[in-house]
Amino acid sequence: MASTGEGTAGSACAPVSGADHAPATPSANTVFLNRPVSLDRIDAMTRRAIETLLDGPGGWRPLARNLVAAWPDAPPLELIFAIVSAAEAIETMFAPGSPALAGAEAGYRVAALLGVDLFAMQSLGLPHQAAADFTAYWNADPWFRLV
C-alpha cells in the first residue's frame, strides 16, 4: 500500500468493510492478555534464556522446554518476549563476528517457533492461556521431539 503523504481520516489498522473477520470480542481465548505483567518473572526468564543460549552450539535446544517447566503459569507471550529480549541482549553484548551471536540467532528462531505453536494452539481451539499448555500441545504434535 503506497502512501500519498496526505494522511488518512481513519486508522490504517481499522477493519475493512466486508473483511472475513469479526471485531475482536473478549473471550476465554484472550483472558491471558488481561493478566498483570510480572517484570521480575520476565527478568528471571530473560536471564535464564541468555544463559541457555550461550551454553554452546546446542544450548537453544532445551530452552523452550526449560522455561515452560520453570514458569508453567506464565502467559505464553511472556516466554516469547523473554527469549526475544535475551537474543537482543546477546546481540548488544557481543561484537560482530563473535561466535556468541549464534545464540542470539537461535533465540530468535525459538521465539518464532513458540509464536507459531501459540498461533496453532489458538487456531485449533486448544488451551493456550499458560506456558504449561505448550507441553500438552507438544505431546500431541507428532513432529515435536523435544519433550
In the chain, the amino acid numbered 96 is P
pLDDT for the residue 37: 78
pLDDT for the residue 75: 96
Q: Which long-range contacts (CB under 8 A, 24 or more apart) does 50-59 make?
A: 50/86, 50/89, 50/90, 53/86, 53/87, 53/90, 53/103, 53/104, 53/106, 53/107, 54/90, 54/100, 54/103, 57/102, 59/103, 59/106
> Which stretches of the chain drop beneath a pLDDT of 70?
1-35, 142-147
pLDDT for the residue 144: 62
C-beta of residue 59 within 8 angstroms of C-beta of residue 79? no
pLDDT for the residue 10: 42
Q: Which residue has the cell 502467559?
A: 75
